[in-house]
Structure 1
Amino acid sequence: MKSKKSFWIGLGTGIGISLLIVTLYFGIQSVLDFTKTAGLGLIESEYGSQDEKFEDILEKLNTYYHEDINPENMYKEAYRGFVDGVGDPYTVYFSKDEFKSFTEDIDGTYEGIGAYVGFGETKDELLIIAPMVGSPSEKAGLKAMDRFISVDGTDVSGMTTEELVKLIKGKKGTTVVIKVSRNDEVLEYSVVRDEIVVPTVSHEMLENKIGYLRIGGFDRVTETQFLEAFLELEAQNQEGMIIDLRYNGGGLTHVVSAIADELLPKGIIYYTEDKEGNKATVYSDEERQFNKPLVVLVNQSSASASEILAGAIKDHERGVIVGTTTFGKGLVQQPVILNDGSVLKVTVAKYFTADGHYIQGVGIEPDIIAELPELDENATVPEDWDPQLDVAMDTILEMVKK
Structure 2
Amino acid sequence: MKTKLLLALGLVAFLGMASAGAASADELLEKGIYTEETKGELETASQIYEQIVEDAKADRSLVAQAQLRLGLCQLKLGNRPKAISALERLTQEFPDKDKLLALVDDQMPALLEELVKQIEQNYIQEVDRSELVETAIRAIIGKLDARGGFLRVGDMEFLGTNAVAEMNVNLEQQIAGVGATLKVDEATGEIVITAPLRHSPAWKAGIKPGDRIVQIDGVKVPDEEKLAGAVKRIRGPVGTVVRLTVKRLDQSLEFKLTRDNVRLSSVKGDHYKTDDTWNFILDAEHKLGYVKLTYVGKQSPQEMEAALKGLQAGGIKGLILDLRNNPGGSLSEAIAIADQFVESGTIVTVKGRSGEKAYEAKREGTYGGFPMVLLVNRHTASAAEIIAACLQDHQRAVVVGERTYGQAIVRALFPLKSGVGSLKLPVSAYYRPSGKNVNRFPGFTDADDWGVKPDEGYEIIFTDDELKQYEKAHNEENPSEASKAEFRDRQLEKALAYLRAQP
What is the TM-score normalised by the length of structure 1?
0.66
Matched, 1:322 2:400: yes
- Deviations 1:170-201, CA, capped at 9 Å, x for gaps: 3337699xxxxxxxxxxxxxxx9x99743211
Q: Which residue of 2 aligns with 1:369?
A: 459
1:236 Cα shift? Answer: 0.6
Higher strand share: 1
CA-based RMSD of the aligned residues comes to: 4.3
Give the alignment of 1:163-242 within 5 angstroms. Answer: 166=228, 169-172=231-234, 197-203=263-269, 204-205=280-281, 206-207=283-284, 208-242=286-320
**With CA pairs under 8 Å and 6+ residues apart, which has the higher RCO, 1 or 2?**
1
Partner residue, 1:21:
none
| Partners of 2:382 and 2:195 in 1: CA distance | 19
User: 2: CA distance between counterparts of 1:322 and 1:134?
Assistant: 31
1:249 Cα deviation (Å)? 1.4
Question: Larger Rg: 1 or 2?
Answer: 2
Task: Give the alignment partner of residue 89 of structure 1, picking from 125, 136, 154.
Answer: 154
Q: Does 1:54 align with 2:112?
A: yes
Q: Choose which of 67, 74, 92 in structure 1 pairs with 2:132.
A: 74
Corresponding residue for 2:492?
Answer: 389
Between 48-57 and 233-242, the greater mean CA deviation after superposition: 48-57
Aligned-pair CA distance for 1:73:
4.8
Structure-2 separation of matches of 1:97 and 1:321: 36
Give the CA deviation at 1:371. 3.2
CA distance in 2, matches of 1:45, 1:347: 31
Letter in 2 for 1:56: E
CA-CA distance at 1:250 after TM superposition: 1.1
Hey, what does 1:285 align to over in structure 2? 362
The percentage of counterpart residues that share the same residue type is 20
Look up the equivalent residue of 2:108 and give its one-letter code: Q
Is the 8 Å Cα contact of residues 240 and 293 (structure 1) preserved in structure 2?
Answer: yes
Shift of 1:388: 1.4
Could you say which residue in structure 1 is the equivalent of 2:342? 264
Write the distance in 2 (CA, Å) between the matches of 1:115 and 1:364: 31
1:262-283 deviations in whole A, cap 9, x for unaligned? 110211111122256x212222
The 8 Å contact of residues 180 and 195 in structure 2, kept in 1 or not, is answered as no
- Tell me the secondary structure at the aligned position of residue 170 of structure 1: helix
SS in structure 2 at match of 1:365: coil
- Asked if the contact 1:303–1:327 (Cα under 8 Å) also holds between the matched residues in 2, the reply is yes
Residue 160 of structure 1 corresponds to which residue in structure 2?
Answer: none
Report what 1:245 is aligned to.
323
Shift of 1:355: 0.5
Q: Please say if 1:355 is aligned against 2:422.
A: no
Closer/same/farther in 2, CA of residues 33 and 115 from structure 1, 3 Å limit = same
- SS of match in other structure, 1:248: coil
1:102 counterpart = 2:167:
yes
Aligned length: 321
Q: Which amino acid aligns with 1:269?
A: I
Measured in 2, the distance between the counterparts of 1:115 and 1:200 equals 17
Alignment-derived partner of residue 443 in structure 2: none
Residue identity opposite 1:169 in structure 2? V
**Unpaired segments ≥5 residues, structure 2:** 1-75, 92-102, 146-152, 184-192, 203-207, 212-220, 235-242, 247-254, 270-279, 441-449, 473-482
Distance 1:50 1:281 in 2: 41
1:364-394 deviation per Cα after TM superposition (whole angstroms, max 9, x unaligned): 110111234656979x972573221111011
Q: Structure 1 or 2: larger helix share?
A: 2
- The one-letter amino acid of 2:264's match is V
Asked if 2 retains the 8 angstrom alpha-carbon contact of 1:132 and 1:216, the reply is no
Write out aligned runs for 1:286-305 (5 A).
286-289=363-366, 290-305=368-383
User: Which amino acid in structure 2 is aligned with residue 393 of structure 1?
Assistant: L
1:59 deviates by 4.6
Aligned to 1:345: 424
Unaligned runs of 5+ in 1: 1-28, 117-130, 142-150, 156-163, 177-191
Return the offset for 1:36.
8.5
Q: 2 CA distance for matches of 1:36 and 1:64?
A: 14
Secondary structure at the counterpart of residue 411 of structure 2: strand
The AA in structure 1 aligned to 2:382 is S
Quickly say closer, same or farther: Cα 1:107–1:32, change in 2 above 3 A.
closer
Query: Measured at CA, do residues 249 and 68 of structure 1 come closer, stay the same or move farther in structure 2, by a change above 3 Å?
Result: closer
Q: Structure 1 CA distance, aligned partners of 2:361 and 2:195?
A: 30
1:214/1:33 CA distance change after superposition, 3 Å: closer
TM-score when scaled to structure 2? 0.54
| Cα offset, 1:216, TM superposition | 0.9
- What secondary structure does 2:332 align onto? helix
Give the Cα separation in 2 of the matches to 1:84 and 1:60: 23
Distance 1:295 1:274 in 2: 32
Indicate the SS of the match to 1:273.
Answer: strand
In structure 1, what is the Cα distance between the partners aligned to 2:128 and 2:195? Answer: 41
Q: How does 1:17-166 map to 2 (within 5 A)?
A: 48=104, 49-61=107-119, 64-65=122-123, 70-71=128-129, 73-87=131-145, 88-96=153-161, 98-110=163-175, 114=181, 139=209, 166=228
